[in-house]
């Protein structure tokens, strides 16, 4: 998971720092983007996963092997939708956003009306910093007579990266109207409030998302991030270590700890949050 925004109120932490943390906390430092859930839900910074192979459970070495294999398959059949989506997903997970975008451009040319492809192409554009283009691509994939909640959520994620939080939240709520209690959308909505500095509201949505039966570990890792940002690191560490391998959990905790200790930002965040509560 990776993003960017307008004026940000979380003390010394930049928007990009929090967005990177939101991404990295999902699967530790072995990946750079939150994947979709097992049902191909689109979460912030994600590219839909189309293969049954569990990419999210792979470590760095396994991802490297998967990348080589997917790359070889892609060279043989660059127009194949499933191969292209899988290869782009792996590239995004390993931080190669420009290459992932190039792959998705070719897949989109070969599948110009496929909504799953267009959604993934839009997300790849966003990950590569092409936010306006991403919005246009996702909008092209959406159909008013049969709207897709995944596209609403994807559009919200891009709008959040552009600093248009009110519009983003409207899109998330539109997604939830179509797909009530969808944990990936609720998690995105929570992250929207993180990015605007409202940690209490963010935690409310994150906890609700984590309690849903369909929630996966990535949603719970976002909850760990929000709890940690409020200075409750022991609680965040407990959440982060659930359901993950020791290596993944250690990577998540190490990254979160390093981010929160930058320029004493942990203490500043707590003070900022208390000040906001006192003025409300």
User: How many C-beta atoms lie closer than 10 Å to residue 201's C-beta?
Assistant: 16
Tokens of 219: 């949603």
Could you tell me which CATH number the domain at 15-279 has? 1.25.40.10
Residues of the chain with pLDDT under 50: 1-16, 19-53, 263-266, 270
Which residues are CB-neighbours of 211 under 8 A, at least 6 positions away?
none
Instruction: Note whether 52 and 10 are within 8 A (CB).
Output: no
What pLDDT is recorded for position 228? 87
Q: What is the pLDDT of residues 191-206, one digit of tens each?
A: 999 988 899 999 999 9
Using DSSP, state whether 158 is helix, strand or coil.
Answer: helix
What pLDDT is recorded for position 217? 80
Instruction: Note whether 27 and 218 are within 8 A (CB).
Output: yes
Q: Where are the domains of the chain?
A: 15-279
Question: Which segments of the chain does DSSP mark as H helices, in order?
Answer: 15-27, 60-76, 81-93, 97-110, 115-127, 131-141, 149-161, 165-178, 183-195, 199-210, 217-229, 233-241, 246-260, 265-279
What pLDDT is recorded for position 56? 60
What pLDDT is recorded for position 94? 87
Q: How far is CA 73 from the centre of its chain?
A: 26
Q: What is the pLDDT of residues 69-85, one digit of tens each?
A: 999 999 999 999 999 99
Dihedral angle at the C-alpha atoms of 209, 211, 214, 219, nearest 10 degrees? 50
- Predicted structure pTM score: 0.71
């Amino acid at each position: 998971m990776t993003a960017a925004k307008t004026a940000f109120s979380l003390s010394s932490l930049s928007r990009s720092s929090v967005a990177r943390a939101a991404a990295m906390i999902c699967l530790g430092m072995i990946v750079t983007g939150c994947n979709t859930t097992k049902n191909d839900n689109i979460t912030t910074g994600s590219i839909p996963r189309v293969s049954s192979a569990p990419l999210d459970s792979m470590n760095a070495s396994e991802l490297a092997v998967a990348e080589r294999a997917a790359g070889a398959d892609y060279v043989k059949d660059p127009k194949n939708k499933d191969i292209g989506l899988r290869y782009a997903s792996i590239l995004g997970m390993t931080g190669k956003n420009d290459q992932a975008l190039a792959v998705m451009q070719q897949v989109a040319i070969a599948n110009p009306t496929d909504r799953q492809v267009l959604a993934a192409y839009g997300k790849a554009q966003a990950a590569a910093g092409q936010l306006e283009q991403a919005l246009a691509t996702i909008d092209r994939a959406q159909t008013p007579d049969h709207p897709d909640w995944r596209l609403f959520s994807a559009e919200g994620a891009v709008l959040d990266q552009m600093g248009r939080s009110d519009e983003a939240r409207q899109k998330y709520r539109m997604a939830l109207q179509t797909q009530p209690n969808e944990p990936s959308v609720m998690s995105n909505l929570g992250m929207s409030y993180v990015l605007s500095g409202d940690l209490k509201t963010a935690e409310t949505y994150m906890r609700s998302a984590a309690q849903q039966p369909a929630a996966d570990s990535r949603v719970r890792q976002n909850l760990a991030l929000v709890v940690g940002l409020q200075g409750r690191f022991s609680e965040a560490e407990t959440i982060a270590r659930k359901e993950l391998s020791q290596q993944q959990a250690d990577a998540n905790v190490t990254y979160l700890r390093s981010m929160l200790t930058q320029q004493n930002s942990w203490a500043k965040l707590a003070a900022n949050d208390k000040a906001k509560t006192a003025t409300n």
